[in-house]
Amino acid sequence: MGDFVWTDESIRWMRDAANESRYYQTIAQQIAAYLPPSTRVFDAGGGLGDLSRWLSYHVEHVTVMERDPKAVASVRALCPPNVTAMLGDVFTYLPDRQFDALVLCFFGKANEILPLARELTSGKTFVIQMAEAGKGFSLDAQAKHGETIADAERALQSEGVAYSKVAFEIEHGQPLRSIEEAIAFFSHYSKREVTREEVEARLTKTDNAEFPFYVPQRRKLAMLVFDALKAGPR
């Protein structure tokens, strides 16, 4: 999750979205297909722990490192005992022993992938990114996410690193409890005060008493998988 700063509000939104979808379960299944049950995984910048939680059901142990104390507290509250949450900086972390696998899920820039892989794992690295640039939940058309999977591919290709690629789509929209919450949500992601009219145009009404409104979002993702030992020396 990089330098993203979590707030109580953004944590609640992210938790609601995770609980109401199979987003993280699906990503975990894509990763687990490459790993034996005995694997020790390092989840770099693992956010609130949702991906680590679902990965933990497939592997022996998951270590998550985050720079935000709120995120670390969330991981510890959410995850089973075979997940360890650490407060720290992934880019300066030197493990006593390299991990069996590294997960970079929306974490780091393209030119940081190989240095992290060489330092942190002796096995496979999994890079998950958006398949194409998009504006996410911003109401402003010009807003775009930064990194895409194409940036990661170019970084690996420039170093002659062989990799495999898997593309998949997952619904990962936002359930909302009220119009007022929806206005706060879109204001947060648009980085400005939005109007009720703008917000209502993006909402779908549901039959869910707890979450009567929903913002649909079909996410097109891609995952690169490569062997760190074939990516050159540390």
- Beta-sheet pairing, 213-215 with 99-105: unpaired
Q: How far apart are CA 205 and CA 210, in angstroms?
A: 12
Query: What does pTM read for this prediction?
Result: 0.93
Q: How far apart are CA 152 and CA 128, in angstroms?
A: 9
Indicate the DSSP class of residue 197.
H
Let me know: does 161 contact 125? Beta carbons within 8 Å. Answer: no
Which tens digits make up the pLDDT trace of 52-64?
Answer: 999 999 999 999 9
| Phi and psi torsions of 56, nearest 5° | -60, -20
Domain locations in the chain as residue ranges: 8-175+218-228
Which tens digits make up the pLDDT trace of 155-211?
Answer: 999 999 999 999 999 999 999 999 999 999 999 999 999 999 999 999 999 999 999
| Domain 8-175+218-228 sits in CATH 1.10.10.10 | no
